[in-house]
């Protein structure tokens, strides 16, 4: 049987090296693609910094047909890609992601706008410190939170940090980005993997999204925060492996 082409899309402020042990487990059976989002990991940014632009830019380098796994912001980009190029996306896996990152009157299961406003204000003083605070929020409430933060910081330091402008553009995208108008265009099999203690994207968002796709798989991991593939790489890899099975 031929190997699956698996594309891993990281979140805001990070880079394609974040996947660590989880990626190595799946590399035994998949051809892995771990691109940097524009503006991340030393890659040149794009303008405008929108979901459509990010998706279109990545589409140029993706395999002819692939499974997309997107985490956090990368999950929003993956959703847009699945709708934009359905013939190129075989299956869709979302980890700690939803179609809308910021709360509004029609989507309550999301981060409060005031939190993103605070990050935007802090960015003016020290972008790197603001990014590290965001890493701490990602681990908050989960098991082994201190170890997870250490892992996130270690991976973050392995490649150049995004510029302050890229981080600002990314925050604006998290604030205003919305894939909901395109959800009806997503026809691929869908798998949702979410930490029950996720303090960035509430687990209620994953449950709500799963309810919109009757055939979607939903896996809620007790004790996990925003990045379960870091704290339980083997378990998350097993879920992915099962979803990819014919």
Nearby residues of 112 by Cβ (< 8 Å), 6 or more positions away: 102, 103
* Average pLDDT score over the chain: 94
Confidence class of residue 246 from pLDDT cuts 50, 70 and 90? confident
Q: Is the pLDDT of residue 205 over 60?
A: yes
Q: What confidence score (pLDDT) does residue 1 get? A: 52
Nearby residues of 86 by Cβ (< 8 Å), 6 or more positions away: 185, 186, 187, 188
Query: 177: exposed, middle or buried (C-beta count within 10 Å: 0-12, 13-18, 19+)?
Result: buried
Q: What confidence score (pLDDT) does residue 232 get? A: 95
> Quick check: 142 and 223 in contact, CB under 8 A?
yes
Residues of the chain above pLDDT 90, percent? 80
Higher pLDDT, 148 or 168: 168
Task: Indicate which residues carry an active-site annotation.
Answer: 72, 198, 226
- Specify the fold of 4-244: Rossmann fold (3.40.50)
The ranges assigned to domains in the chain are 4-244
> Quick check: 82 and 68 in contact, CB under 8 A?
yes
**pLDDT tens-digit map of 65-93:** 999 999 999 999 999 999 999 999 999 99
Q: What confidence score (pLDDT) does residue 182 get? A: 97
Arithmetic mean of pLDDT, 6-13: 97
Residues of the chain above pLDDT 70, percent? 99
The C-alpha atoms of residue 182 and residue 196 are separated, in whole angstroms, by 26
Interior/surface letters 87-104, b for 16+ CB within 10 angstroms, e for the rest: ebbbbbbbbbbbbbbbbe
Q: Is the pLDDT of residue 147 over 90?
A: no
**pLDDT tens-digit map of 86-138:** 999 999 999 999 999 999 999 999 999 999 988 888 887 688 888 888 888 88
Q: What confidence score (pLDDT) does residue 139 get? A: 85
Q: Against a cut of 0.75, is the pTM above it?
A: yes
């Amino acid at each position: 049987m031929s190997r699956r082409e698996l594309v891993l899309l990281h979140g805001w402020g990070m880079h394609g090296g974040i996947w660590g042990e989880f990626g190595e487990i799946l590399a035994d059976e998949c051809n892995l693609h771990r691109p940097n989002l524009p503006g991340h990991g030393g890659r040149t940014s794009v303008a405008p910094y929108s979901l459509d632009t990010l998706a279109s830019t990545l589409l140029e380098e993706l395999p002819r047909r692939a499974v997309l796994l997107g985490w956090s912001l990368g999950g929003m980009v993956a959703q847009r890609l699945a709708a934009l190029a359905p013939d190129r996306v075989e299956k869709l896996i979302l980890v700690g992601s939803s179609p809308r990152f910021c709360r509004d009157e029609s989507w309550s299961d999301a981060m409060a706008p005031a939190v993103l406003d605070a990050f935007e204000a802090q960015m003016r003083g020290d972008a790197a410190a603001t990014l590290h605070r965001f890493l701490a929020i990602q681990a908050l409430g989960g098991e082994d939170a201190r170890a997870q933060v250490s892992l996130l910081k270690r991976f973050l330091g392995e490649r150049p940090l995004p510029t302050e402008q890229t981080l600002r553009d990314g925050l604006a995208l998290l604030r205003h980005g919305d894939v909901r108008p395109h959800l009806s265009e997503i026809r691929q099999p869908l798998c949702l993997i979410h930490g029950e203690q996720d303090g960035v994207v509430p687990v209620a968002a994953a449950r709500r999204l799963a309810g919109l796709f009757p055939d979607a798989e939903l896996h809620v991991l007790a004790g996990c925060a925003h990045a379960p593939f870091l704290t339980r790489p083997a378990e998350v890899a097993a879920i992915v492996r099962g979803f990819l099975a014919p």
